[in-house]
Amino acid sequence: MKLERFEMERMQSTYENLVEFNLSESGVRPLSARELIEDAAGLDGLLDQPLVYTQSNGTIDLRRAIASMYSGATVEHLEVTNGGSEANFITIFNLIEAGDEVVMLVPNYMQTWGLSRAFGGAIRPWPLVEDRQAGRWRVDLDALNTLVTPRTKMIVICNPNNPTGARLTAADLDAVARAADTHGAWILSDEVYRGAELDGRLTDTMWGRSERVIVTSGLSKAYGLPGLRIGWVVGPPSLVASLWSYHDYVTIAPGALSDRLARVALQPERRERLFERTRGILRRNLPLIEEWLRGAGGFHWIRPEAGAIVYVRYDHQINSTVLVNRLREEKSVLVVPGDHFGMDGYLRVGFGESPEYNRAGLDRVRELLSTVAAVAPAS
Ligand SMILES: Cc1ncc(COP(=O)(O)O)c(C=O)c1O
């Protein structure tokens, strides 16, 4: 099998712990185990947790807690995985075969792109439209209806979207469901940023809109707990039963400590507080980033609705990968080039850290850009 490089993750894995300012992350500053547990009894409970192979598809209590967030879902609809990435992996591993077409909303987190192709699928990109006049990224449903055909095995969306931070509306999701149902296609909706909305309104889920909906998600972004490596798949029980046996081949089970801590994070009151923490960080940091972008000049962006990322178009005459490499080598700052999403001329800038950290990193970006020619903004 030929596996193309997952450029963004490879870049992050290689450099994110080496640079002084990592602005390539899309989540907020993670919590410590102590911050999550909060009390001494809870800490003792964690230390006394036997380091067993835990229930390999997630403990019943954890699956029950997750199921309660998806209307009509039971523990049979749930597979707990090592991160949202394993949730996506076992889904594509299970469903995509040579000759299948996958209609994929782009830009997007490119894991499902590379994996679908590795398993022999062909991608049909479905571009989000950057509506500069309306100031929003929107879906083109007419385009979707021409892309989805009897050969379509799956439609992949990411909602809220990485890298734009845009949200699809309930009406958009219903239209995606109709397009899929017309041709018997699956829908994979990656909702890992759900809960990280600036306006506090929980993003509409794809769950429940078609019989062939698979939602993947996890604790890495909206909950600020990426180091737990807890993700999940919600889907029809027959598919989930099959995914479990794919999971057997990949990692067997989530970590016992992580399962336990995930149960803490998902207590309803705790979950709301975690979302509030995340949203608080976003609300504090985004205006500062926007102020910086305006001050620096030569940048254009549509305000993200969710996630600690802003997807910025720039006027400077330099390829995005060249720019990102120079930023890393000359200024020890890491951001994601638009090239990693197939869109040169853009940068994805993360703002989930402290304002001081973000500012110091961005000031180094400004230093470097002052040496690069800028062109007049395109009309
Ligand atoms: C849309 C999306 N899905 C999945 C992942 C991976 O999530 P995890 O860290 O939980 O494996 C990411 C990470 O950036 C992401 O942006």
pLDDT tens sequence across 13-27: 999 999 999 999 999
Distance 297 CA to ligand 1 centre (A): 31
- Give residue 201's pLDDT: 98
CA distance 85 to 218: 9
Distance 246 CA to ligand 1 centre (A): 19
CB 27 less than 6 A from any atom of ligand 1: no
Distance 32 CA to ligand 1 centre (A): 19
CA distance 315 to 327: 16
CA-to-CA separations, 216 to 46, 190, 205, 342, in angstroms, rounded: 27, 5, 11, 23
CA distance 206 to 162: 16
Spell out, as residue ranges, where the chain has pLDDT lower than 70: 375-379
Instruction: Tell me, rounded to whole angstroms, the distance of Cα 138 from its chain centroid.
Output: 18
- Give residue 248's pLDDT: 96
CB 189 less than 6 A from any atom of ligand 1: no
- Give residue 270's pLDDT: 97
Sheet holding 152-158, edge to edge: 78-82, 230-234, 213-218, 186-190, 152-158, 101-106, 122-127
- Give residue 372's pLDDT: 87
CB 97 within 8 A of CB 121: yes
Strands 186-190 and 213-218, sheet pairing? parallel
Distance 84 CA to ligand 1 centre (A): 5
- Give residue 376's pLDDT: 55
pLDDT tens sequence across 253-295: 999 999 999 999 999 999 999 999 999 999 999 999 999 999 9
85, 159, 250, 348: which to mutate for ligand 1, most atoms within 8 A of CB?
85
Distance 107 CA to ligand 1 centre (A): 14
CB 233 less than 6 A from any atom of ligand 1: no
State pTM to two decimals. Answer: 0.97
- Give residue 374's pLDDT: 74
- Give residue 375's pLDDT: 67
| 89: nearest Cα among 113, 109, 115, 65 | 115
